[in-house]
């Protein structure tokens, strides 16, 4: 019997499939190739899954090239495809690296992350905020590609990032004892007018109040008990600023002190107890909602995530990916998870309704058991409401 051709034409292989029942020795090797169709890695190639880059490579016998899984070229016929665990294996085929996906270089995501990291260092190292064009030029990419990549990786525009960085420098300057004008100047604001315009957004108060250690800020708080354990509720003049859940009331109080180290924490009076009762009510019966002003303090990105969470109805869950899509930053899934973890308003900002893509509960700052209990409770409510 003649040796089988190295690259089996498609019709020949098809014929072999139909002949499977009467397998010959040369057919024994063929199912390995056909197996690519059933290999879960092949699905990732078809999906051009960039998270698969670096995990494996594939080569195409008919074109004589090898690619990374995310390659944008037209999908090859799986019959002609071989999967490789390492780049060395792919190279060992003797095929050429694809000119489109550059399988020998760093992955697209890794490259983007490197570009963005360089840009962040540039922003942080300059007194004057670099222009978008200057940043793009410095990292060797077009302005639009750079802007898109930056937003995808950090969840922020370069401009927002620069503003957040300078606000942080002002805060650090004020805390370390600089005068207000010094701190503003050192952070790269050439006119204090520009800074004052935005100071309340950035510091939550005027710079002078901030320098005094937030002594003008009074935080009222009270501890309570729910069916899920201890609860601490705290409010500023603007609204409810913290809702913390836990087993140990003292630990909750310490968390509050850490968050507002310079504020005057005032134990609650009867008025405030009434407000706490409403928050406890929300934990017990999520469907009643919480019609109280919130004092949400976070970065622009965190605030966008938290707003999206507040729009998730009782009894529903969403994935981190879905939230990332809803706030228009589809690539910032990890940053979304970070913002969920940084939530200070348990239940009122329902980060417990965010689960992993596969529906698994994932983490919860106040304990996975509480997350499960809250979701079970809400699921029961929705069943009742639909009856
Ligand atoms: Zn390719």
Q: Look at residue 21 in the predicted model and tell me its pLDDT.
A: 40
- Specify the higher pLDDT residue, 53 or 212: 53
Catalytic residue among 67, 71, 98, 101: 67
Spatial separation of the C-alpha atoms in residues 177 and 183, rounded to whole Å: 9
Spatial separation of the C-alpha atoms in residues 282 and 263, rounded to whole Å: 27
Q: Look at residue 137 in the predicted model and tell me its pLDDT.
A: 94
- Specify the higher pLDDT residue, 24 or 222: 222
**Residue in the block written with tokens 């603007």:** 238
Average pLDDT over all residues of the chain: 79
CA–chain centroid gap for 320, Å, is 7
Asked if residue 249 has pLDDT above 50, the reply is yes
Average the pLDDT over 350-359 and give the result: 85
Asked if residue 1 has pLDDT above 60, the reply is no
Determine the distance separating the centroid of ligand 1 and the alpha carbon of 38, expressed in angstroms. Answer: 21
Which pair of structure tokens corresponds to residue 186?
């050192």
Determine the distance separating the centroid of ligand 1 and the alpha carbon of 95, expressed in angstroms. Answer: 12
Identify the DSSP state of 6: S
Q: Look at residue 354 in the predicted model and tell me its pLDDT.
A: 92
Average the pLDDT over 119-126 and give the result: 84
Determine the distance separating the centroid of ligand 1 and the alpha carbon of 6, expressed in angstroms. Answer: 22
Determine the distance separating the centroid of ligand 1 and the alpha carbon of 308, expressed in angstroms. Answer: 37
Q: Identify the weakest region by mean pLDDT among 134-148, 201-215, 345-359.
A: 201-215
Spatial separation of the C-alpha atoms in residues 358 and 368, rounded to whole Å: 16
Among 105-114, 192-201, 315-324, the range with the most confident prediction by mean pLDDT is: 315-324
Q: Identify the weakest region by mean pLDDT among 14-18, 44-48, 109-113.
A: 14-18
Q: Look at residue 215 in the predicted model and tell me its pLDDT.
A: 57
Asked if residue 386 has pLDDT above 70, the reply is no
Determine the distance separating the centroid of ligand 1 and the alpha carbon of 57, expressed in angstroms. Answer: 10
In tens, the pLDDT along 324-345 reads 999 888 888 888 988 998 899 9
Q: Look at residue 147 in the predicted model and tell me its pLDDT.
A: 92
Asked if residue 57 has pLDDT above 50, the reply is yes
Determine the distance separating the centroid of ligand 1 and the alpha carbon of 32, expressed in angstroms. Answer: 22
Asked if residue 205 has pLDDT above 80, the reply is no
Determine the distance separating the centroid of ligand 1 and the alpha carbon of 335, expressed in angstroms. Answer: 29
Q: Is 67 designated active site?
A: yes
Task: Give the residue among 131, 135, 202 at the shortest CA–CA distance from 169.
Answer: 202
Q: Name residues whose C-beta falls within 8 Å of residue 135's C-beta, 6 or more positions apart in sequence.
A: 119, 122, 123, 146, 158
Q: Look at residue 271 in the predicted model and tell me its pLDDT.
A: 78
Q: Identify the weakest region by mean pLDDT among 115-129, 220-234, 242-256.
A: 115-129
Asked if residue 212 has pLDDT above 70, the reply is no
Q: Look at residue 46 in the predicted model and tell me its pLDDT.
A: 92
Q: Is 98 designated active site?
A: no
- Percent of the chain at pLDDT > 70 equals 79
Average the pLDDT over 289-301 and give the result: 80
Catalytic residue among 71, 98, 101, 351: 351
Spatial separation of the C-alpha atoms in residues 349 and 297, rounded to whole Å: 12
Asked if residue 10 has pLDDT above 60, the reply is no
Spatial separation of the C-alpha atoms in residues 221 and 230, rounded to whole Å: 13
Determine the distance separating the centroid of ligand 1 and the alpha carbon of 113, expressed in angstroms. Answer: 21
Where does the pLDDT of residue 143 fall: very low under 50, low under 70, confident under 90, or very high at 90 and above?
A: very high
- Specify the higher pLDDT residue, 212 or 325: 325
Determine the distance separating the centroid of ligand 1 and the alpha carbon of 340, expressed in angstroms. Answer: 36
Q: Identify the weakest region by mean pLDDT among 50-54, 151-155, 321-325.
A: 151-155
- Specify the higher pLDDT residue, 357 or 369: 369
Q: Name residues whose C-beta falls within 8 Å of residue 89's C-beta, 6 or more positions apart in sequence.
A: 57
Asked if residue 48 has pLDDT above 70, the reply is yes
End-to-end CA distance of the chain: 71
Q: Which residues crowd ion ligand 1, with CB under 5 Å? A: 67, 71, 98, 100-101
* Cross-strand pairs, 81: 60
| Sign of the CA dihedral running 336, 337, 342, 347 | positive
Q: Identify the weakest region by mean pLDDT among 45-54, 145-154, 200-209, 318-327.
A: 200-209
């Amino acid at each position: 019997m003649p040796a089988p051709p190295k690259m089996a034409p498609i019709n020949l292989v098809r014929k072999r499939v139909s002949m499977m029942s009467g397998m010959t020795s040369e057919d024994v090797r063929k199912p390995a190739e056909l197996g690519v169709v059933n290999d879960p890695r092949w699905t990732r190639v078809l999906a051009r899954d960039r998270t698969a880059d670096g995990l494996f490579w594939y080569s195409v016998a008919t074109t004589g090239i090898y690619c990374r899984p995310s390659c944008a070229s037209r999908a090859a016929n799986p019959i002609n495809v071989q999967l490789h665990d390492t780049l060395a294996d792919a190279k060992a085929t003797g095929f050429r690296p694809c000119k489109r996906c550059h399988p020998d270089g760093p992955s697209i995501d890794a490259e983007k992350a490197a570009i963005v990291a360089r840009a962040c260092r540039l922003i942080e190292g300059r007194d004057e905020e670099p222009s978008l064009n200057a940043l793009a030029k410095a990292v060797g990419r077009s302005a639009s590609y750079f802007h898109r990549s930056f937003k995808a990786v950090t969840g922020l525009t370069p401009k927002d990032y620069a503003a957040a960085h300078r606000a942080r420098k002002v805060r650090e300057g004020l805390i370390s004892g600089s005068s207000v004008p010094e701190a503003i100047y050192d952070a790269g604001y050439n006119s204090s007018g520009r800074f004052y315009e935005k100071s309340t957004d950035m510091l939550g108060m005027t710079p002078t109040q901030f320098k005094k250690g937030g002594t003008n800020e009074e935080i009222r708080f009270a501890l309570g008990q729910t069916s899920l354990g201890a609860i601490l509720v705290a409010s500023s003049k603007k609204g409810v600023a913290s809702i913390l859940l836990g087993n140990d009331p003292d630990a909750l109080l310490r968390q509050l002190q850490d968050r507002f180290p310079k504020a005057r924490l005032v134990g609650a009076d009867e008025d405030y107890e009434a407000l706490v009762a409403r928050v406890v009510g929300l934990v017990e019966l999520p469907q009643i909602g919480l019609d109280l002003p919130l004092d949400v303090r976070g970065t622009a990105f965190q605030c966008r995530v938290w707003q999206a969470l507040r729009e998730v109805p009782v009894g529903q869950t969403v994935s981190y990916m879905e939230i990332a899509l809803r706030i228009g930053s589809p690539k910032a899934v990890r940053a979304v998870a970070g913002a969920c973890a940084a939530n200070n308003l348990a239940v009122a900002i329902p980060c417990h309704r965010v689960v992993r893509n596969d529906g698994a509960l994932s983490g919860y700052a106040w304990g996975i058991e509480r997350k499960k209990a809250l979701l079970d409770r809400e699921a029961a409510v929705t069943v009742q409401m639909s009856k």
